Each structure stands twice: as structure tokens, then as C-alpha cells.
Amino acid sequence: MKTKLTLSISAKRIRRIKAYGLRHRKSVSQLVEEFIDSLEKGAQGPGAMGREVHAMDRFAGMLTGKITEADLKADPRLAHIYRKGL
């Protein structure tokens, strides 16, 4: 059974993830489901050399763009993640 989920994401990021989805012929919902599945599996990636790869590493470069000070001020969660280096 599918259930709707509401997320608060900047318009800029929404445009970028939709464009990514179009290029890969996947819906935003599919991308989110794949991301969640990868978290549960403890994704191992090529070049990991025996170390566990964080699931977020799979998405490196997917939503390229510079994080500005305004972005950090607008979203405290992003600021926290950014400062932790995740």
C-alpha cells in the first residue's frame, strides 16, 4: 500500500531532483524509495576497500550546487549536516 508523504524541500532542490529523475527515467518517489532501501541495506559501493560506504555517498554529485550562507540560515538541519561534514 502506498501512502503520501509531505516533505519541506527548497524549490531549487525540487527542480534539481526532478531533472535528475527525468534524466534517469525515475519519479521522485522512486528515488526516495531507493534511497531509503539503500539506508536499510548498509550499502557497500565499489572502491570501498573493505570499509562500509555511507548510503549518502551513492548520491554524491547528484544534486550538485554550492551551499550558500543563506541556505544554511534558511535550513538549520542543512547547517547541522554541513558542519558535521556528512
- Model pLDDT for residues 25-71, shown as the tens digit of each residue: 999 999 988 888 888 776 455 544 545 556 556 555 555 566 777 77
Which residues contact residue 6 at a Cβ distance below 8 angstroms, ignoring those fewer than 6 apart?
A: none
In the chain, where the domains are located: 11-84
Beta strands in the chain (DSSP E): none
> Which phi-psi region, left, alpha or beta, contains residue 35 (left: φ > 0; alpha: ψ -120 to 50)?
alpha
Coil, helix or strand at residue 75: coil
Q: What is the pLDDT of residue 52?
A: 56
> CA dist 73 to 10, 12, 63, Å?
13, 16, 19
pLDDT, tens digit, 9 for 90 and up, residues 2-32:
888 888 888 898 888 888 889 889 999 999 8
Read off the pTM. Answer: 0.47
